[in-house]
Structure 1
Amino acid sequence: MNKQANVLWWSELATSRIGVVFFGVFLLALLFFVANLADRASRDLVQEVQSLNEREIRNGFVAMSEIQRLNFLLFDARNYEGITLEHREDVQAAVDILFVRADHLKSVYPDPDVFKPSRGVIESLDEIVGLTDAYLTETDADYGAFLTQLIDASDRSRRSLHTYLTTLSRESEEITARQTDALLSKTRFLWVAVAALSLVGLVAISLLRREIVARRAREIAEENERFLAFFDPLTKLPNRVQLQNKLAQYLEGRTKTAVAIVDVDNFKSVNDTYGHAVGDDVLRYIAEILELPAKTLNGFAARLSGDEFAVVLPTDDFAKLSEYCRAVISRAARPHKVGNDTITTGVSIGLATTSQISTSRQVEMSWILRAADFSLYRAKAEGRSCYTFYDNDLAAQLEERNAMLEDLPSAITNGDLKLFLQPKVSLPDRAITGFEALVRWQRNGQLVSPVQFITLAEESGLIIDIDKHMLSEAAKTLADWNKLHGTNFGVSVNLSGTHFANMQVVELVRAAIEKSGITPSLLTLEITESVQLNDWALVQNILCAFRDLGVKISIDDFGAGYSSLAYLRAIAADELKIDRSLVSEIHESEEAAFVLDSVVDLAKNLNMDVIVEGIENEDQARRVFDLGVSKAQGYLFGAPVMAKDALRNATAYQTEKRTAVALR
């Protein structure tokens, strides 16, 4: 481990900018050091050659001096009739020195042809030495002839030596010049090579650094990829994949297991109010709350998506599971400090155990997760910040829910979704001004309320097909009826917020208008006020396209959801439908009347028509009329009925009104 750590440390150092600079400087210093050594060696070689030539020239001049001294001795001896012992010794000493010089030249020039002037010097010196040795060894030698020969030989030797020294000096200068030029050229080449090698080295180091950095980046990316394959990057909890892997192991081992699906209450409100950074911190906080107690029970927590988590515990003990849920809910409800903000949230929990699932079917991962998720749905429906166990009642409801989910696609294609209409009336004369299109499901001989299947359709994505079907059916039915009977009834059709994810809904509405032939101004598109629209810029583009088509926009169920003034201003609708929750207590509570009056004034100031829903008695009708509302809808004026019946009744009512007016 230490060796790997050291290698990692050195590799990180080498790939850092400091490491690259350090190794670059080290490389330059090393190259300069080598270049200096080579330069110094070249200069030393030149100096050595120069020193050798200078030494040989000095030796030549010494030899020249010895020859001059020998000539002096010979001429001095000629002045005498014979050679004296003193002369003999002096000549012998001079010749011995010349012998040494000749021997030295032979060692310097073993092959005289290499430097031809040395041949003449060597031969003349050998001649002098030979004559002297011959004379000194013969007792009856002719002294005069010896002197003449020796003088002639020394003269030849002097001339040869002069030629030798002249040539050697000239060639020494030429050699020195050539070697100096070669040295300069070599030096220039050396420094160019050093510069080139330095550049190549720096480039190589840079490329090496890039390669190491890229390799390290790839390793980090691969590590991140491996991490992201099994863990959530925000909370560091296992993700859905690892949850499924571990849960499969629990189930294969037939371990008694509980699965809890946890949802953060009102998390979108936290994001919208405080921002996504605070929302992320809340998710990390919830993850910690779930994970720590789960580990004490030898379980684990995972993040599924968004604000939804899962907890797997290897137990089906009701008491332990209840204690875990209560502890989590209690801690999640505590105020949580995030920066300067204090956030109070909560969690809802749905639990399912293998023991409970196995009573009705074989335990499968998909079923236990679905059961826990359905339990969560029930917990949220019961008021949030609570937990619900999957039991026999929920099992029956889940079975029915799944059966409805399987039947719903065929209900759309087979025409089992029926168009119902509920009238909208003018309060002063109770004249029917239009209808709201409502859907009912004819299933197994019974009518199913939309409360039972619309949420399911939205969760499954089938709401798109249902809305398309109902929009086309309502537009065609009203257009055909108006054309046939000369009426001018309008119709309101609900659109799910799911449609506002893209511009395709505009083509859906255009197609319905063109196919049915309905007058666009008689078609109103209702957007439920509780629907959360995420991309406001896209929503504005869609609404502008609707207005270009000539249809009207209505905000439905105002007061039942977020009741945001910003929502009203952003939608800029033609109509505001006030939810029955603001009307139910209007005849008993002045506060309720004040709220309703304020909403009506607000809508009028925004140039919206106002329709009050849920009018069930005359007291409510009279009270809202007194508040300035002229249009209403509710069971007082008519319950939702089959489209043909509603239109027939409305047409008959209009005919009766016209007849009564005519009779008067």
Structure 2
Amino acid sequence: MSEKSPGNLLVKFNVIFILFLVVGLSISALVYHFGNNIERSTSQLIDEDLQVYSNFQQLRKQLTEQESALHAYYASFNPSLFEYDFIAAHGGAQDTLDQLAHYFDHTALSALMNNQQIVMEIATALDANMRLQTRSQTDWDLARLQLQQVRQLMQDTHPLIEQLTGIVSQRVEQSKDRVGSQLNYMNVLVFIYGLTALTIALLILRSVKAYLSANKLNSRLALFPQRNPNPIFSFSKNNIVSFANPAALRLAAKLDHSVEALGLKLGQKIDSFQQNIKSEEKAFERFELLLEGLYFQCELHWLSDQRQWDLHLTDVTAKKHAEQKMVFQAYHHPETCLDNQYRFREVLEQFVEQNTVFTHGIIEIRSYSQLLSDNTFNKNHQVVIEIAAVLDKVCHDMPEDIKLFHIGDKNFAILIPSSECAALVKRLVSNIKQQINLAQFSGQHQVELDFGFACSPHDGKDVEEINRNTRIALDSSASQEHTEYMMFSDHLGEAIARQNALQVAMRLALKSGDFELYFQPQLDVTKNRVIGAEVLIRWQLNEQWVSPAEFIPLAERSGMILPLGDWILKTACEKAAQFAKSGYEDLVIAVNISPKQFTHPNFVENVKSALFDSGLKAKNLELEITEGVLFNNENATINSLHILKSMGVQLAIDDFGTGFSSLSYLKDFPIDKLKIDQSFVRNMHVDSADQSIVRTIIDLGNNLGVTLIAEGVEELEQLNMLKEMGCKEIQGYWFSKPLDEAYFNDFLASKQSVA
């Protein structure tokens, strides 16, 4: 190979580049090294100046200590203050002045040293005056004059110190400015030199590589179009095809076109891009092209030397379809193909940002868990798909621009850009319910929906607020069985806010023991004696009573009913044990048990623990359960009831007659007592239907050998009727209202006959 061949030329250029770079970097390193030495030397100088600053601070302190020692000596008449404190401070000041003498000449410090000498003389004289045999012999006027002289000398010393400090400061600033200027100059030189060297080296290397690459590519360039698997077309300036590679010919055959016909179509599609390249004087432009269902990534070049256009096509149809599928899946529900929660969030945020007046609604399939349990997986999803189809049709048939989203398995969302909130919602819900009732769903299922709506901006000015308030309206609708839909309102929001506040307060009340039990006495009307009492929970919050009708359902929904029920059971057993110890050994305390509490796996053990911990006999405890509990997991219920019965606990059915109509459980379950619900007792003295119901319940209980107790007895006429029908026990305001523990104790003591 000749000496001037491209290979040798590249080697030479590389050697020159490396040498140039090494020399340049070496020089830069040396300059940087020298700069660091200068900076370190300067730092040492500055450190000495800083030490002088420290010495002046120490001197000020020592002068103050001298003056303080003399004043203390004068005040306390203690010679040791002079011998030790003053002498030590004066000696320290002399040492500090000796250290400063290394930095200043003797002339600069002479005034300070003279002052210290005079101070020493005055202090010695003061000591001699103070050491006379008795305090009465001491010349106190002279002593005070001497102290004043010392103070004046000290005050004269401070300006001298400030003057010397100023000299040091000036030296430091001059030194810093000089060194900083030198370093900046040096750094600029290093940067300029390094940047220049690097630029030259890169240019040399780039030129060499470009030259060699051009030589290599020129030999292969002629083969590139023929071997390229992607179509390449060349067009004249009039967009007539002048060249098409083999891949371009295959594309024309695939689309059932001649090369000329395909070139004509392509020429029409690329015309605007050609104009753009010319107007902006660009070398090429990349863009995407849709051609008869196929997507192509295109690169268009203008070859000015050849006066022609080169168009390179890359088929990206598969990639485009995959991207479109991913985008669709990202923003659509996989089963119903409706826009999903992510699209819903985007549209909602857009509405809020643009201050759009709109209605936000959430639709929920009622009893969705029941739907899941009644169907196979596939059939359940088919029902949801059919519901989505009905909702979609209703929304599309209405003239408003209603946007429907499938945001969860059982939830759909609606956004309606309209200011007619209430009227529009009423019409929409009516249309949806009408179509839902007419539709035939898989498995012949009847579908019910819950609706919650909120209007923005009145019910929320940001995404979180409008979402939260719509959800509040939905939850309120779902909790009311026969409500068609619920619109959010300030009153509803306040009610939810109170519920949330009560939940927090209930948790705190459980921890702090703010709940208390009241006792409503129960009377055996045949023997006219108190046989027991039902415990009723009471709660006073911020000096106001909270109704159990308000906080008990809230506890059930929030899950706090379990710890609350356990507290009631435990506390009731403790109070009952105290009553028994007070002599009321046969008094029975009745405790209401919630369904969730009774069905808890540890319920029976909790009862055993409450009895054991309190020392209460099982016969003094009565558990009241509702009829619905008996039909929830019947086998487990029977087992729990028999265990409790075997322990000696009494069992009662609360609110009898208001629940399930089946009476077979009365012979299957070990029940001791039936409580006739107060809804039948309240009007029995004026309502013949209620009389018949009460009489039937009493006859049934007596025939089965079960004790009966009537709740809510408030009138003497009611009492007489119950006696006549054969009911032996009553409870209600006629006999006594619920009493706190102290009043209940007094009540028991006032009755001559107590079980």
Q: Which TM-score band (shorter chain)?
A: 0.5 to 0.7
Partner residue, 2:462 = 363
User: What CA distance in whole angstroms lies between the structure 2 residues aligned with 1:627 and 1:280?
Assistant: 56
Partner residue, 1:518 = 616
Structure 1 residues 324, 627: CA separation in 2 closer, same or farther (over 3 Å shift)?
same
Contact 2:524 2:530 in 1 (8 A): yes
Amino acid at match of 1:629: C
Structure 1 residues 555, 326: CA separation in 2 closer, same or farther (over 3 Å shift)?
same
Identity rate, percent: 26
Name the SS for the 1:498 alignment partner: helix
Give the deviation of 1:251 after TM superposition. 5.6
Name the SS for the 1:356 alignment partner: coil
Contact 1:502 1:538 in 2 (8 A): no
Amino acid at match of 2:393: L
Match of 1:408 among 506, 510, 534: 506
Gaps in structure 2 of 5+ consecutive residues: 1-324
Contact 1:371 1:390 in 2 (8 A): yes
Structure 1 residues 594, 476: CA separation in 2 closer, same or farther (over 3 Å shift)?
same
Greater CA drift, 241-250 or 635-644: 241-250
Match of 1:328 among 432, 435, 440: 432
**Count of residues in Structure 1 that have an aligned counterpart in Structure 2:** 422
Q: Mark the structure with the bigger radius of gyration.
A: 1
Amino acid at match of 2:546: V
Structure 1 residues 445, 337: CA separation in 2 closer, same or farther (over 3 Å shift)?
same
Partner residue, 1:472 = 570
1:467-492 per-position Cα deviation (integer Å, ceiling 9, x unaligned)? 01111111101111211234421111
Name the SS for the 2:567 alignment partner: helix
Amino acid at match of 1:406: V
Partner residue, 2:490 = 392
User: What CA distance in whole angstroms lies between the structure 2 residues aligned with 1:390 and 1:634?
Assistant: 39
Name the SS for the 1:565 alignment partner: coil
Within-5 A mapping of 1:119-158: none
1:354 pairs with 2:453? no
1:595 pairs with 2:693? yes
Name the SS for the 2:582 alignment partner: helix
User: What CA distance in whole angstroms lies between the structure 1 residues aligned with 2:743 and 2:536?
Assistant: 14
1:242-286 per-position Cα deviation (integer Å, ceiling 9, x unaligned)? 8778766766776555444556678899999xx667999887765
Greater CA drift, 449-458 or 258-267: 258-267
Within-5 A mapping of 1:279-290: 288-290=389-391
Structure 1 residues 412, 395: CA separation in 2 closer, same or farther (over 3 Å shift)?
same
Structure 1 residues 293, 448: CA separation in 2 closer, same or farther (over 3 Å shift)?
same
Within-5 A mapping of 1:186-201: none
Give the deviation of 1:462 after TM superposition. 0.6
Partner residue, 2:393 = 292
Give the deviation of 1:384 after TM superposition. 1.2
1:312 pairs with 2:414? yes
Match of 2:641 among 514, 528, 543: 543
Give the deviation of 1:409 after TM superposition. 0.2
Structure 1 residues 285, 560: CA separation in 2 closer, same or farther (over 3 Å shift)?
farther
Greater CA drift, 575-584 or 243-252: 243-252
Structure 1 residues 658, 529: CA separation in 2 closer, same or farther (over 3 Å shift)?
closer
Contact 2:521 2:533 in 1 (8 A): yes
Contact 2:528 2:753 in 1 (8 A): no
Contact 1:582 1:592 in 2 (8 A): yes
1:622 pairs with 2:720? yes
Give the deviation of 1:512 after TM superposition. 0.9
Contact 1:457 1:463 in 2 (8 A): yes
User: What CA distance in whole angstroms lies between the structure 2 residues aligned with 1:279 and 1:612?
Assistant: 46
Structure 1 residues 519, 387: CA separation in 2 closer, same or farther (over 3 Å shift)?
same
Gaps in structure 1 of 5+ consecutive residues: 1-222, 660-664
Give the deviation of 1:463 after TM superposition. 0.7
Name the SS for the 1:573 alignment partner: coil
Report the RMSD for the aligned CA atoms in angstroms. Answer: 4.0
Match of 2:559 among 461, 485, 493: 461
1:9-32 per-position Cα deviation (integer Å, ceiling 9, x unaligned)? xxxxxxxxxxxxxxxxxxxxxxxx
1:528-570 per-position Cα deviation (integer Å, ceiling 9, x unaligned)? 3355854333333332332343222222122334444356566
Tell which has more relative contact order, 1 or 2 (C-alpha 8 A, sep 6+). Answer: 1
Give the deviation of 1:631 after TM superposition. 1.3
1:303-362 per-position Cα deviation (integer Å, ceiling 9, x unaligned)? 757xx6443323463121221122234445x4776799795x75443322332333xxx6
User: What CA distance in whole angstroms lies between the structure 2 residues aligned with 1:571 and 1:229?
Assistant: 55
Within-5 A mapping of 1:96-115: none
Structure 1 residues 413, 620: CA separation in 2 closer, same or farther (over 3 Å shift)?
same
Contact 1:577 1:612 in 2 (8 A): yes
User: What CA distance in whole angstroms lies between the structure 1 residues aligned with 2:332 and 2:651?
Assistant: 46
Structure 1 residues 340, 353: CA separation in 2 closer, same or farther (over 3 Å shift)?
closer
1:644 pairs with 2:644? no
Within-5 A mapping of 1:204-603: 256-262=357-363, 288-294=389-395, 297-300=401-404, 302=406, 309-315=411-417, 317-318=420-421, 319-332=423-436, 334=437, 346-358=448-460, 363-365=462-464, 367-376=465-474, 378-379=476-477, 384-530=482-628, 534-565=632-663, 568=666, 571-603=669-701
Structure 1 residues 385, 512: CA separation in 2 closer, same or farther (over 3 Å shift)?
same
Structure 1 residues 534, 658: CA separation in 2 closer, same or farther (over 3 Å shift)?
closer
Amino acid at match of 1:325: V
Structure 1 residues 530, 486: CA separation in 2 closer, same or farther (over 3 Å shift)?
closer
Name the SS for the 1:596 alignment partner: helix
User: What CA distance in whole angstroms lies between the structure 1 residues aligned with 2:675 and 2:691?
Assistant: 16
Amino acid at match of 1:355: P
Give the deviation of 1:590 after TM superposition. 2.3
Instruction: Considering fraction of residues, name the structure with more helix.
Output: 1
Give the deviation of 1:603 after TM superposition. 3.3
User: What CA distance in whole angstroms lies between the structure 2 residues aligned with 1:476 and 1:619?
Assistant: 36
